[in-house]
Amino acid sequence: MEEQGAENGVADMAACYQGFDPGAYLQNNYSPAIADFERKDGLEPWKLACLHRAFTEGDVRGELLVDVGSGPSLYQVMSGCEVFNKVLLTDFLEVNRQELRSWLQDEGGCSMDWTPFLQHVCKLEGRPSSAWTEKAARLRQVIVDIVHIDVHSPQPLALDVLPSAGADCLVSAYCLESASPDLAAFTRALGHIGRLLRPGGHLLLIGTLGMTYYMAGPGVKIPTVPVNAAQVCASLKESGYTLIRLEVYRVPQDMMLCSDDSPGTFFVKAIKE
Ligand code: SAH
């Protein structure tokens, strides 16, 4: 009975995602008006600084970085692409994988100009912002594939996608709480993706705090599971991770988006036991 309820919840989420519009999502969250790099207290500078720090502390290393639930977005691998020689992008939806492919092919037709993000990460690395073209080239060089993933499946990726040892590091932004009907499903999904990671590998997890919905296109309202920091810590522990740190960003009142009701974001660095 309980299992049936859980399956229905996950199926309802998958149905909601059929309306996901990559262009609208990018516009709502990452267009220049929203991702204003002049505002030092903005979410994007905060997120990129967390990722930069996590990837440059020296403990995160290896060959393969997997981004879980990339969506149509690339900012989350802009620091990691300098550390890893192979980066695998993944998403549940073909429309998002297609959007990422069009950026990779660089022949126009891409809905998003990632230049300000690339420039900002170059500056974090102590390089001039003009080095963004080199970073874009590096990113295009290390992305090995863009594949389907389902975090609600005990085996989220097709069998032959990863080497048997697993990935050296996972990054995942705004995927688990946005794809899960409730906290139990969120925790299970953390466990599922952990199977992709080698023991001793790192998880860098970004997510919203207390968000109940976001808009993923005109009239496409996606319900999400509102989580708090204590719940995230408990879910990590239950799913076999050891927390290294959790940081919290609170959205300034004048920067609240009209496309969601999220008051904050968390960033987690954890290690798989
Ligand atoms: N990481 C991106 C996108 C987050 S939006 C960013 O930071 O902008 C949430 C993403 O979760 C969407 O791309 C959606 O396709 C994906 N998603 C939805 N259901 C999923 C599932 N069952 N498994 C994996 N990803 C899923």
User: Tokens for 172?
Assistant: 């995942």
Ramachandran sector of residue 101 (left: φ over 0; alpha: ψ -120 to 50; beta: rest): alpha
Give residue-wise pLDDT tens across range 40-95.
999 999 999 999 999 999 999 999 999 999 999 999 999 999 999 999 999 999 99
Summarize pLDDT for 105-151 with one digit per residue, the tens.
998 888 899 999 999 999 999 999 999 999 999 999 999 999 999 99
Ligand 1 pocket test, pick from 12, 92, 97, 146 with the greatest ligand atom count within 8 Å of Cβ, gives 92
Distance in Å, CA 181 to ligand 1 centroid: 13
Q: State residue 110's pLDDT score.
A: 87
Coil vs helix vs strand at 119: helix
pLDDT of residue 108: 84
Q: How far apart are CA 195 and CA 27, in angstroms?
A: 33
Task: Decide if pLDDT at 1 tops 60.
Answer: no
186 vs 110 pLDDT, higher one:
186
Average pLDDT over residues 101-107: 94
The pLDDT value given to residue 270: 98
pLDDT at 2: 59
Distance 21 CA to ligand 1 centre (A): 12
What is the chain's mean pLDDT, rounded? 96
93: nearest Cα among 145, 18, 36: 18
pLDDT of residue 129: 98
Mean pLDDT within 16-44 = 95
DSSP code for 162: S
Share of the chain above pLDDT 90, in %: 93
